Chain A
Amino acid sequence: EAGVAQSPRYKIIEKRQSVAFWCNPISGHATLYWYQQILGQGPKLLIQFQNNGVVDDSQLPKDRFSAERLKGVDSTLKIQPAKLEDSAVYLCASSTQVKAEAFFGQGTRLTVV
């Protein structure tokens, strides 16, 4: 079974530029999560989708971050404009249902300079 796919693996941008990350969850997984992990910290939930609806986005900085999950499958996370403190690994995860364990993609390592 294919795992969660993310791209790109690495991205370096200048502050105030925009960037987008893509995620394809495990086939059949209805729940999709985007987490931000800063070095030395645990993953922080940014947004959670159930199919193509948002379940929780309370921790998403909505002035600069946006996310969508069209057709309940792939998802994109966008940052515009980026700040230095956005440098982190952005992890996508999916699960079969909201109470089940989540499986992670390899993440996108973002460096903002």
Chain B
Amino acid sequence: RKEVEQDPGPFNVPEGATVAFNCTYSNSASQSFFWYRQDCRKEPKLLMSVYSSGNEDGRFTAQLNRASQYISLLIRDSKLSDSATYLCAVNRDDKIIFGKGTRLHILP
């Protein structure tokens, strides 16, 4: 089993819809969690850190479920500019491990 798993997609979603991604991690000792966004041929950019209590940044909401070992990302009122690959990252033993990413296409 891979340490960090994501559904690769692609998710094809009409503009304005709500979309949610999950990411599961295998090591219960993982301590911090992140969502990154990566545009085609660009570097990953931090979208948001994920806190135990859940956190929201505008249209984006991240949640952590330690019992089931997954994190989620919810995007509301999706925009064409949200089209990208979303990478889940987990800090385990002071190393940041990435999933393969989920591709999102927002359709006009």
Q: Least Cβ distance of A58 to chain B in Å?
A: 9
Identify A48's interface contact among B31, B32, B95, CB under 8 A.
B95
- The number of residue pairs between A and B whose CB atoms lie closer than 8 Å in the complex comes to 52
A93 to B44, CA, bound (A): 10
Measured CB to CB, the residues of A under 8 A from B are 33, 35, 40-45, 48, 55-56, 91, 93, 95, 98-107
Q: How many residues of B contact A (CB 8 A)?
A: 23
The SS class assigned to the B binding surface is strand
**A contact residues around B42 at 8 Å (CB):** 106
User: B95 touches which one: A45, A101, A107 (CB < 8 A)?
Assistant: A45
Say yes or no: B46 contacts A103, CB within 8 Å: yes
Which residues of chain B are within 8 angstroms of A42 by Cβ–Cβ distance?
A: 4, 6, 87, 98-101
- CB <8 Å contact, B100 and A107: no
